[in-house]
Each structure stands twice: as C-alpha cells, then as structure tokens.
Amino acid sequence: MVKTIAEINEKIRQGKAVVVTAEEIIDIAREKGMKKAAQEVDVVTTGTFGIMCSSGAYFNIGHSKPRIKLGGGRTYLNDVQAYTGLGAVDLFLGANALPDDDPRNRIHPGEFNYGGGHVIEELVAGKDVRLAATAYGTDCYPRRKLETWINIKDLNQAVLFNVRNAYQNYTVAVNLSEKTIYTYMGILKPKLGNANYSSAGQLSPLFNDPYYKTIGIGTKIFLGGGTGFITWQGTQHNPDVPRTEKGVPKTMAATIATIGDLKQMSPRWLIGASILGYGCSLTVGVGVPIPILSEEILQYTTVSDQDIIAPVVDYSDAFPQMKPDVLTEVSYAELKSGKIKVKGKDVPTASLSSYPRAVEIAGILKEWIQAGKFLLTEPVEPLPGVESGVTQKPLNERPIEY
Amino acid sequence: MAVSKRIVLHFPRRLVERPIIYRLVKDYDLEFNILKASITPEEEGLLVLELKGDQKEYDKGIDFLIKAGVKIQALSQDITRNEERCTNCGACVTVCPTGAFKLEPKTRIVLFDNDKCIACGLCIPACPPRAMEVHF
Ligand code: SF4
Ligand code: SF4
C-alpha cells in the first residue's frame, strides 16, 4: 500500500480524507493493526506549544514622508530594540530582545516582564505599538527622527520567521547544587528538588516522523494560529544522534526553521513569555500534518510516550559548563507520571510546554484538513537526515593575539 | 479585646532555626495554630498561622516579629488565575509550596485550588505568560 500526497489532497478536496491526531492514532493502530490503519488513515496531525527562543518577526513599515533610513540607526518598538541592519524600512525583532532600561539580572533573579516576544504578541493582537527611531540621514533619506504608532494592519509585511522551532526531543533539567537556580528550563530547586521537561512527547511533530521522510523544506504547517511553512533545517539541527530501536532520537536532534504571515496569526498561539532570571521569549504553537504514504510512516506516527526517552541533565554544572554528562534517561511516560527517579531520589516533574494546547493544535489542524481548507504540500527538499553529515558543533574558540 | 487572625510569615534563612514562635507564646501570651509550614526554593521558612490573643499583646507580638526580620502578610490577599492567559503548561506545579496546582492526569490540564493557596506569591514570576495575579 503506497499513497501519494496528490491522492491524499484529492481526498481532502472531496472531503473524504480520514484525518486523526497523533494521540488518536495510537489506539486506532492498536485496535486495527498497522496495515489496516495505514490503509484507512490519510493524515496524522501533530502539535506542540512551547517557549521557542529563536523566534522573531520582520516587518516593512512603509516609507515616511520625508523618507528615513532606519538601517544603521536605532529603532525601538515599545522600547524594545529592533534590528535595523537591513534596508531602509525593514526591521527584525527577536523574541529575546529587551528594553535598554530593563534591569535584567542586576537584582537576581530578574523578572523580564516585557521583551520582543511580548511586542510580537501585542502586534498580533492588533494593538498599536510605539515606534521610535533615530537615523543618521542621507541625501535620499534625509529624516533623522521618527516617532509614530504602528499597527499590524498597516504594515506592508509582518512575517513571523523562526530560525529554530519544534526541537525533536529535549533534555530534562535538574539541579544538583545547593541553591535554587533560574534557567530557561524554569526554576530548579536545589538538591534535585524538581525536574522540568519541555516537549509534547507523543504529539510533538518530529517524534512522529523521526527520519524526516515526509517533513521537509516547503511543508505547510500550523504556525501561531495561522498557516506557515518550513523554510529550512532549524539552527542546531543535529539528526545523527543515538536512537531507540524504533528510530526515536534519545536526545535533542532535529529542528525546523519556520515562516508565516503574522497578519493571519493569533495571540492565542503566540504568547510573550517571561522566564524568571533568564529573559523574555515567545511561546509558539506549531502543528505539522503527516501524510500516511505507507505502513512504515504510519508506524512512526504510533510512537507513544513510553517509547520516547529523554536525557536528564544537571543545569547547575553540566549544562552551563558544556559537559556531556547525563544523569539518567527517562521516558515521557515516566515524566508525565509526576515523578522520576534520579540518583535514587524521587524527583517531582513539571512540564514547560503545554500538552493541552498541543492537543488543541493537532485538533485544529485536523479540522482544517477535514474541511478542505488545508491541503498538504510535497516537500521541495528533505531535511538533512542521519547520513547528511550535518551535526551540531561546539564553538571552536581561538584566542585573538594583539 | 481578644483577636484571632490568619497571617503568612516569611522567615529569612537565618531565622529558620530560631525559636520565634515560642517567644510569641511566652512573651505575648498568644495562642497559635499552624495551618501550613514549608521551606521555599529560596530556603526561606514559610508559615501560615492563626494567632489568637489580646489585641494589644497581638500588636506587640507582630511588632516583635517584624523587628526580628520576619515578613508578614495578611492571608486576605487573594491570588487568582487569569484563565485566558494560562496555557496549562504546568511550570507552576512544582514551584507551589502547598500543592495548589494539580494536573488532571488524562488531559494534562492544570487545576488551581484556591483553598490550598497561602498567597506566598512564588508562582507569580514563575508563570511564563504571567497568568497568576495578586489582588489586595
Ligand atoms: S505556569 Fe502559568 S500558564 Fe503555566 S499552568 Fe501554571 S498558571 Fe498556567
Ligand atoms: S501564591 Fe501561588 S505558589 Fe503560593 S501558595 Fe498560592 S498558588 Fe501556591
């Protein structure tokens, strides 16, 4: 049994496609068997909703009269600095950007109440945002100062562009030290006081297509409540890692870069995040449809939390010091039970990504496809796979001699 | 005049092992009921007390606590969750010292039980979308 994406799209157009979520497929395959399930099911939808730091957006704000060249000057959106090293009125805003006067960690742990991620959320919500810019002035762009309200509906382009999203697996963070630490994996209490993880597990997109046989460059996806596309491998893409028998990476592996029109997204699926003692970020909703082209692909989508293993890492020492030490490995089923065993101790667990929202995303994507509103795309290029030689290298620091 | 009040005490680490509550009984003749006791991530002591006694002695007792370096909050402070903003991530679950957040095992929805909340405020900056709100 082999199906093509074109055949599945034809069924979607006719409203006949069978679409289920990556959670539902587990029981369906168990009841019907892989073969029958693969014949009957056309698409499995996935979802994840978590803090994804390497997210951002770019804008073209339109030319003012007289003209101003923001490029090379300074521009702030609600006091958060945007990147201006682009053409005249193009800007990029990263989710981690902070206002100049934010106290950061001067009083540790800093609260990081407002940053780039929050500006993106407010823009998407349709709120006016204050733009303040200074420029150096040229003969063709004479203006040196600009202060104005902007609104997403007036911008020429407002595009979410995330260079790393939807990590395939993630470490579980704990703290072996004697004091509380404040990390991007949340508050970690001393002496193994708690363990935080961040993945939707069995619903997470890349766990359901572990060898990237259907997900690739050009894949149309749910992004921030609207539709978007995978543009490239995400930064730190690292497919060649140890895997389980079923092919599931046992540690952080693939990532995707994503893009989509911010104007059709929603603040329910793009939420500014404040991470105590760490910084600001953006919580992003991503959902990827997986076409069931063969029994093999169906099998991958039946992955469940018991099959997914994550490494437990000490964020007081091993992580900051770039040591490879892993304390133990645990399954997502164990993580979701509420406690895991680390060094003989029961450690309570908490998730940083929202499973209920991941379920909702997979459900929305399923509805879109069932209603014929969302057709699948054929990837134009696969993501680099295990054999590609793409790896994540550490920085090779070379001292500069003066 | 006799009073009975519920208060939250935050002890800095240096006071955790000192017999402060004992002094309330001995020097100010106050009766107490421990409603909750725990150690926060900062290793601060956190104690929710019901204190009973004469109003004057009660005031003196509170004064003594403040001078000793204990931070005092009335328990009337109310913590609520902005349901619109909560994403049900679960980051608050292990932060709360009293277990006011519980996961619904099947859906993974995070339930908030206001009755268990002692208004310590720890969850407020720990919640990434800032869904926990304090009302005075
Ligand atoms: S940390 Fe905040 S958003 Fe997450 S479950 Fe708790 S209250 Fe909700
Ligand atoms: S304020 Fe928050 S952390 Fe403190 S007891 Fe209430 S719910 Fe728990």
Write the DSSP assignment of B35-56 as a string of letters. Answer: EEEEE-TT--EEEEEEEEEEHH
Among residues B42, B74, B106, the one where a domain terminates is B74
Pair (B87, B99) in one structural domain: yes
Pair (B83, B127) in one structural domain: yes
Pair (B21, B70) in one structural domain: yes
Separation CA A360–CA A382 (nearest Å): 27
Question: Active-site residue A140, yes or no?
Answer: yes
Pair (B16, B64) in one structural domain: yes
The total number of structural domains in chain B stands at 2
Looking at residue A1, its pLDDT comes to 67
Pair (B89, B112) in one structural domain: yes
Pair (B50, B102) in one structural domain: no
Looking at residue A293, its pLDDT comes to 97
Give the range of the structural domain holding residue B67, as residue numbers without chain letter. 2-74
Pair (B120, B93) in one structural domain: yes
Among residues B32, B53, B74, the one where a domain terminates is B74
CB contact under 8 A, B129 and A272: yes
Which residue type is seen at A117?
G
Contacts of B92 in chain A (CB under 8 A): 350
Residue A118 in 3-state DSSP? helix
Separation CA A311–CA A331 (nearest Å): 9
Pair (B67, B82) in one structural domain: no
CATH at residue B118:
3.30.70.20
Contacts of B96 in chain A (CB under 8 A): none
**pTM across the whole model:** 0.89
Average pLDDT over residues A1-22: 96
pLDDT digits (tens, 9 = 90+) for A112-137: 999 999 999 999 999 999 999 999 99
Ligand nearest to the CA of B93: 1
Looking at residue B76, its pLDDT comes to 56
Q: How far is the CA of B99 from the centre of ligand 2 (A)?
A: 8
Contact by Cβ (8 Å): B127, B82? no
Pair (B115, B128) in one structural domain: yes
* Residue stretches of chain B with pLDDT short of 50: none
CATH at residue B58:
3.30.70.260
Average pLDDT over residues A101-112: 96
Looking at residue B77, its pLDDT comes to 64
Pair (B47, B10) in one structural domain: yes
Give the strand pairing for A309-314 and A172-174: parallel
Q: Which residue in the set A273, A348, A357 is minimally distant from B128, CB to CB? A: A273
Ligand 2 pocket member B117 (CB < 6 A)? yes
Separation CA A179–CA A177 (nearest Å): 6
Average pLDDT over residues A139-149: 98
Ligand 2 pocket member B96 (CB < 6 A)? yes
pLDDT digits (tens, 9 = 90+) for A200-254: 999 999 999 999 999 999 999 999 999 999 999 999 999 999 999 999 999 999 9
> For the CA atoms of B93, B94, B97, B98, what is the dihedral angle to 10 degrees?
40
Asked if the C-beta of B82 comes within 8 angstroms of chain A's C-beta atoms, the answer is no
Q: How far is the CA of A217 from the centre of ligand 1 (A)?
A: 33
| Residue with the larger pLDDT of the pair A380 and B114 | A380
